[in-house]
Amino acid sequence: MLNQLNPRHYYFIGCMSGSSLDGLDLVYVKFTKKKVWTFKILASTTVIYSKKWKKKLHESINLAPYAINKLNEDYTDFLGDNVLSFISKEKINMLDGVASHGHTVFHQPEKRLTLQIGNLSHLADRVGLPVICDFRAQDIALGGQGAPLVPMGDQVLFSNYTACVNLGGFSNITIVQNQNVLAYDICATNTVLNILAQRLNLNYDEGGKIAKGGKIIPSFLEKLDKLHFYTKKPPKSLGVEWVREFVLKILDNYPNAETNDLLHTYTLHIAEQIAKCLPKKGSVLFSGGGSYNTFLVGAIQKRTKAKIVVPSPEIVDYKEALIFAFLGLMRWKGSINCLASVTGAEKDHSTGKIFIPNSQMG
């Protein structure tokens, strides 16, 4: 049950696993509703994926249906165990529910297909709390892209910014203009940068230092900039399938190129694509792991007159998990948490499956 002592305060845990496979983000948040919604992050952590889990998740898109079902069961258990560990370690005793994005295996909205594993009903039994999860499926069924989902949170919780940009496995943007929200995926970001860094036996290019030391490969940049996705109008979203089909195929044409040059060129490609999407003025909040890539952020800033704001590490690292906690709260309350203007669905709606633990039923 939602906290009844003070109905204007709600306590939720948000869980997020991104396409860059950095780990599982967990955040414990207090939401307060007065005239407007405010939040306070009370605790947060990232569970770094083991090599075994990273391999499983990376290869999940290639699995047969029965193997995906098994992975779904296992990952749901993994989520439950880590949520319980987080609650125990942080001594959390005020908690209304858990909201989980799950981990995306495939996302093909044009075929009305999307799958985020870890969203099975026994997650609620495992943690002994109401769970709100599987946020994308309903939007897909309503003809939407199922993404991006964070704009509702951006609009409500970060309204003092002209726009919000997330630099994760993919970059996406939310622009709020007179209560009208425009949001969409921009390009593949850490998904590709990390693949290149791994050629150097690194998980990622810290601060973009290796990319900064490289040189531009003009033909590589030209091919990237001509990708058809960039000419499409929103709503639009990206998945790892798009990276494999288009970006990695272009990359295959440069087998002898130096990795630092490929990193340099792809970073400038990201910067150009993002800068084109930014508002002409105002402040833009940047979050996600890519915000620590100072070479990338600097390259974007050189290409725009808008002021880029990189907030505290807590917001940089946990903004998406925070927003999914908020989306879960909105779903629990039956409030709109997904905007048709953003996803292209038939209507605004309250999305997410609600699972109640068996111990609280009957």
Which carries the bigger pLDDT value, residue 8 or residue 260? Answer: 260
Query: pLDDT-derived band of residue 75, with 50, 70 and 90 as boundaries?
Result: very high
Spans of all domains in the chain? 9-142+351-360, 151-315
Overall fold of domain 151-315: Nucleotidyltransferase; domain 5 (3.30.420)
* Residue 41 burial (CB count, 10 A): 18
Tens digit of pLDDT for each residue in 284-300?
Answer: 999 999 999 999 999 99
Which carries the bigger pLDDT value, residue 5 or residue 96? Answer: 96
Angle, alpha carbons 61-64-66 (nearest 5°): 120
Query: pLDDT-derived band of residue 362, with 50, 70 and 90 as boundaries?
Result: low
The tokens for 191 are 């998904």
Task: Please check the confidence at residue 30 and state whether its pLDDT lies above 50.
Answer: yes
Tens digit of pLDDT for each residue in 94-152?
Answer: 999 999 999 999 998 888 889 999 999 999 999 999 999 999 999 999 999 999 999 99
| CA distances to 147, 168, 313 from 316, in Å | 20, 10, 5
Which carries the bigger pLDDT value, residue 18 or residue 352? Answer: 352
- The pLDDT of 294-307, averaged and rounded, is 98
Query: pLDDT-derived band of residue 358, with 50, 70 and 90 as boundaries?
Result: confident
Q: What percent of the chain has pLDDT over 90?
A: 90
Which carries the bigger pLDDT value, residue 18 or residue 328? Answer: 328
Cα–Cα distance, 300 to 246 (Å, whole number): 23
Domain 9-142+351-360 identical in fold to domain 151-315: yes
The confidence score (pLDDT) of residue 361 equals: 64
Position of tokens 């979203």? 237
Question: Was domain 9-142+351-360 assigned CATH 3.30.420.40?
Answer: yes
The confidence score (pLDDT) of residue 35 equals: 87
- The pLDDT of 235-260, averaged and rounded, is 96
Tens digit of pLDDT for each residue in 141-176?
Answer: 999 999 999 999 999 999 999 999 999 999 999 998
- The pLDDT of 172-181, averaged and rounded, is 86
The tokens for 34 are 């007065």
Q: Is the pTM of this model over 0.75?
A: yes
The confidence score (pLDDT) of residue 26 equals: 98
Task: Please check the confidence at residue 177 and state whether its pLDDT lies above 80.
Answer: no
The confidence score (pLDDT) of residue 1 equals: 46
Reference 250, options 192, 186, 185; nearest CA is 192
